[in-house]
Structure 1
Amino acid sequence: MAKTNQPENGFEATATGFILVKTTRAWLDLTVADRIAAFEEHVTPALKKVKGVRSTFYDTEFYTARVTDIWVWEARDHEAFQLVIEALRETLFWDHYFEIVEILVGVENGYAKHYSTDVVTSINT
């Protein structure tokens, strides 16, 4: 069994949130340049106020019609994740450019922490 979830650059996530979204017609009608500008104008400033989080984005529209994108937010604590949600709700991201399909929050390897056991991982090469 291998240990994982080592802090990267001093950042250790306590909670991970998966925000499943679907693009709206308003987003799709924008050019790519306008999408980037809209994100930088409406979303980036709100998120810069939130400390202790990092995010990655996954495109899924070529595999499913229900969810077009997944935003993965790692947060140092649950309050930081809550602040991300509060910040996003105040932007055009929320229910204008994207329909919020579902929000799932989990704790990586929570079972191992709870039972004080090693983390089970698989690496097949």
Structure 2
Amino acid sequence: MTMPETPAADTLTVFMLVKTEPEWLGFPVETRFAKLREHVEPILQRHAAEVRMRFYDAEFYTARITDLWVWEASSRHAYELVVEALRETPFWDRYFRIVEIIPAVENAYARNYEQAPLAA
């Protein structure tokens, strides 16, 4: 079972605003990718049926954060399991500072009022 391309009505989307820490920036690029493969990739693979993640770089446009991690989860519980696993790695508040977590539901307003969402 894999996540659908278009979010279902109950899909939770979470925007996680993060900022790199000096320790992370001190690693060579190859080491950073090795650490991602070692610590983060197994978590993503373990939860791939219920959670999808996308990375966005933001350091070009803001000083507040360096990256935006967008999570789509089939349920709150699936997302919570991923966060619990991430918290057990050095990525949570050691290599990256979690600046803000913004959960959202796509087009909930339209669905709650039984209206078609605006097309873009």
Could you tell me the TM-score, scaled by structure 1's length? 0.85
Q: How many angstroms apart in 1 are the aligned matches of 2:115 and 2:74?
A: 22
Tell me what 2:5 maps to.
Answer: 8
In structure 2, the gaps of 5 or more residues are none
Cα shift readout 1:83-113 (whole Å, capped 9, x = no counterpart): 1211111111101110000000000000111
Q: How many angstroms apart in 1 are the aligned matches of 2:52 and 2:40?
A: 14
What amino acid sits opposite 1:49 in the alignment? R
Does the 8 A contact of 1:47 with 1:87 survive in 2? no
**Structure 2 counterparts to residues 13-92 of structure 1, below 5 A:** 14-50=11-47, 51-92=49-90
Does the 8 A contact of 1:14 with 1:75 survive in 2? yes
Q: How many angstroms apart in 2 are the aligned matches of 1:47 and 1:89?
A: 13
CA RMSD of aligned residues (A): 1.6
Could you tell me the TM-score, scaled by structure 2's length? 0.88
Q: How many angstroms apart in 1 are the aligned matches of 2:77 and 2:111?
A: 20
What amino acid sits opposite 1:8 in the alignment? E
In structure 1, the gaps of 5 or more residues are 1-6
- Structure 1 or 2, whichever has the larger Rg, is 1
Q: 1:97 aligns with which of 95, 98, 116?
A: 95
1:49 Cα offset (Å):
2.4
